[in-house]
Amino acid sequence: MDEVALVRCTDYDRAAVERAVERVFSLCGGAERFVQPGMRVLIKLNLLMKRTPDRATTTHPEVARAVAFAVQKAGGVPVFADSPGGPFTRGMLAGVYDTCGIRAVAEELGCALNDDFSVTTRTFPEGDAAKQLDLIGVLDRVDAVITVGKLKTHGLTTMTGCVKNLYGCVPGTTKVEYHARYPQAELFSRMLVDLCACVKPCFALLDAVEGMEGEGPSGGRPRTIGALVGGENPHQVDAVGAALIGLDPESVTTLRAAKRRGLLGPYSCVGDPIETLIVRDFDIPMRTKRSGWVNMVNRLPQALRPRPVFTHRRCDGCGTCERACPAKAIHMDEHRRPQVDLTRCIRCYCCQELCPKTDVEVRRNPLVSLLHERGKQ
């Protein structure tokens, strides 16, 4: 049976994170099992946007550092990479690396920040939803990938971890096209499972020291979970992440898609006992922890599904949401305030995910909320 390592790590103290990451690898047979001397290893971080680490939106630099250090100790050559929303360019990434604290880590360890902005196309005949994927070109020039996700709530997939993190292997604005091509949560998640099988990370590590609850993946609140999770199978690592925040795996659309494909086999959790780390009141607003409800929400007609609401309280008119909207449902009015046409909106929640001012909320239809409250009684 596969094993997933779960290790307590209560804060981002450098020595503590380094010890915890080393223990995760060691419980899985050691970093040398996954990284051979001379291998170029792409460390795929979650660098969703230009945010400082204390906001719990991006993979913490101490976790990135400890993983890169482990790769170096095993004789590998780490390369940090991600393609967040917006254009996949050197200029755009420079600000992200700086603000997220990753440039400082790379300079300290002497490891590379990806500066290859080419795109590669991989055919993937065995794919379920995606038979061909456009990916960041650096993937063709590395020997292995380690996905280092951040445990957060997510409007579309309920939770983001190590599998959804790989969506950053799709270059820049191509992500907008993919949201349009795979508009429903179920279909989008099947594509993500294909993407994971195509990129084939050799190891997955989940930063669940500080997660994000509430309006994740960018508009929520940091919440201490106090754990690092790691293993060979990113779906199993995410399943342990889901359990840590009290979510039934069936309520996470990527986990459900992986299970249906036979990719979420049985596993045992080694390391610290999971019962001692579960956060029972983790706030997951748009869905509940009950999978039946999530299944119901996913089947609702579009008009009844949770909708994006622009509050215009903090909006500075930057236009990121308008550019990111795959359905072209947003336009900026004469006061540079975004207005949404809900009849066109496909409920992908990219506007909420990418708004730098957390001005976009995802709200339930009042009728559905009422049914939900009744269902809880």
Q: What does the binding site for ligand SF4 look like in residue numbers (CB under 6 A)?
A: 308, 310, 315-321, 324-327, 329-330, 338, 340, 345-351, 355, 357, 359-360
Number of Cβ within 10 Å of residue 275's Cβ equals: 7
Q: Residue 182 Cβ, how far from ligand SF4 at the closest point, in Å?
A: 12
Euclidean distance between CA atoms 98 and 95, whole angstroms:
5
| Residue 110 CB coordination number (10 Å) | 10
For residues 285 and 317, which CB has a smaller minimum distance to ligand SF4 in the complex? 317
Smallest separation, CB 305 to ligand SF4 (Å): 10
Q: Which helix (H) or strand (E) holds 271?
A: strand 267-271
- Shortest distance (Å) from residue 313 CB to ligand SF4: 10
Q: Least distance in Å: CB of 107 to ligand SF4?
A: 31
Pairing, β 2-8 against β 267-271: parallel
Nearer to ligand SF4, 268 or 343 (CB): 343
Q: Tell me, what DSSP letter sits at residue 114?
A: P
Query: Which one, 261 or 357, has the nearer CB to ligand SF4?
Result: 357
Judged on CB neighbours under 10 Å (0-12, 13-18, 19+), 200 is exposed
When the beta carbons of 271 and 326 are compared against ligand SF4, the nearer one is 326
CB closer to ligand SF4 out of 141 and 314: 314
Give min distance, CB of 355 to ligand SF4, in A: 3
Environment class of 55 (CB within 10 Å of its CB; exposed 0-12, middle 13-18, buried 19+): middle
Nearer to ligand SF4, 80 or 349 (CB): 349
At 195, the amino acid letter reads L
- Nearest approach in angstroms of CB 130 to ligand SF4 is 19
Owner of token pair 């230009």: 50
Locus of tokens 């009849």: 343
- The whole-angstrom separation of Cα 144 and Cα 151 is 22
As beta bridge partners, residue 309 has 361
